Structure 1
């Protein structure tokens, strides 16, 4: 008989199931809102705020203390400002159509050459030191396998000799080569430029860089400090080489 039980007809299993259900729904909502701390509110292609936002409202501001004395950041309202006045224009009056570059897309950072407006500070390791540094500036690193590219000529996508490799920039904690530093030929430009290692290929007695042509090496974004590269500079450099796959020479023309 039910009067023999303290809780009577109360279904404990059903209550536990419903409690779990509401907890799980609340957890999903919380995770979704926390996911909206970066990149929100959403914007259209022209930079204006998009009408169609998320189903859930943006979370309240939260301030994070950054390590190694880099200050604080408040999100979602305190994000880096979006890039403005980009040299591009819509190809049609209605929305959904692609934008076309109006200047030099590789230098302006348009399309595949685009870059994010990251902080103009170097990426740091766990001890607060710049992660990516030239091999010539540190001790204990050497080429243990494969061909040492230092001293080899850099051959561009059109076969031109852009310069020669003078150093390698390594990610010290990861022990990986991130960039090659090339000293430009006099007829190409002055000074040195960085080449992302993922876009360079050591082939015999030369280093091939097919993404851009010789004439473009002088326009590669420079890094300001001789022994460090900032996150913003990295994005601009990688974007420039990446954009060359489409914009360098006549690669947009039909192959037929």
Structure 2
């Protein structure tokens, strides 16, 4: 007898199911639009807006307050500016889309292809307390080499066997408590001054440090840091990209197909 129930003959289970369904659909749409805050609208290689094929429009602008007094950022309209130095450094290999573009000059120096970098903020990455995360070991008294081979003082050997300099310091990610970069003091024949090399692209073998992605002549072009004891996010991207592009661009014979 329906009159014995508060809701009468109303199907509460069915209503709850439909409410959940519409809520879930709305949640998926909201998440998909929020996913389009960074990197949207998509652009083709020639700079024109790409047809992403999506059914949902970009979300409305939202302003985020950055920590440690670094201002505000509004997305999706306030995207980081695209690199303004690409024009003329790439040539189109095919007219149809989907094919890679070839470097017009020196891929390492121009920062294109596998050596490309993103226009990140030219400020250091900070920890939760507002201090630079990555610092030289020589600038802190809280760390020392407890195990393994201390690379400081060891010669640096390039892919072609050239000894380009020696390791003078290690740069630490203090919050993560790990080494991110090794600092190289280059010899005069290979550029002079200090350069950083990502630890993941260096190998410590006994009494030497090997860097197989670059030849000796390429080390002079490794991007420098503006400050002697600080590296910015933009500088990090350029340094890592330079070494990352070495396996293809360091020698001409690496550009040809290998069978």
Verify same fold: TM over 0.5.
Answer: yes
Query: Any idea what SS the aligned residue of 1:37 has?
Result: coil
- Aligned equivalent of 1:235: 237
Over 3 Å counting, the alpha-carbon distance change for 1:134 and 1:61 in structure 2 is: same
1:161-187 Cα distance to aligned partner (Å, 9 max, x none) = 111001100001111100000000111
C-alpha distance 114-9 of structure 1, shift in aligned 2 (>3 A): same
- Corresponding residue of 1:155: 157
Contact 1:41 1:53 in 2 (8 A): no
For 1:84, the equivalent position in structure 2 comes to: 84
Give the CA deviation at 1:18: 0.2
Name the count of aligned residue pairs: 256
Query: Could you tell me how far 1:216 is from its partner in structure 2?
Result: 0.2
Larger displacement relative to structure 2 (42-51 or 69-78) = 42-51
Q: CA deviation at 1:89?
A: 1.4
Q: How many angstroms apart in 1 are the aligned matches of 2:54 and 2:225?
A: 38
Of residues 136, 140, 143, the one that matches 1:141 is 143
Q: What's the offset of the Cα at 1:159?
A: 0.6
2:131 to 103, 108, 129: 129
Aligned to 2:51: 51
In structure 2, the partner of 1:251 is: 254
Q: Using a 3 Å threshold, how does the CA distance of structure 1 residues 204 and 147 change in structure 2: closer, same or farther?
A: same
Match of residue 190, structure 1, among 192, 200, 203: 192
CA distance in 1, matches of 2:158, 2:173: 25
Is there any run of 5+ residues in structure 1 with no aligned partner, and where?
A: none
RMSD, aligned α-carbons = 1.2
Deviations 1:100-149 (Å, cap 9, x if unpaired)? Answer: 00011111111111111110000000110000000001112110110000
> Within 2, Cα distance between the matches of 1:82 and 1:76?
14
**Counterpart of 2:38?**
38
Residue of structure 2 in register with 1:62 after alignment: 62
SS at match of 1:174: coil
Q: Separation in 2 of the partners of 1:111 and 1:254?
A: 16
- Deviation string 1:182-240 (CA, Å, 9 cap, x unpaired) is 00011111211000000000001000000111000000001100110000000000000
1:217 is paired with a residue whose SS is: helix
Task: Report the CA distance between 1:85 and its aligned residue.
Answer: 4.1
Q: TM-score, normalised by structure 2?
A: 0.96
Distance 2:96 2:158 in 1: 39
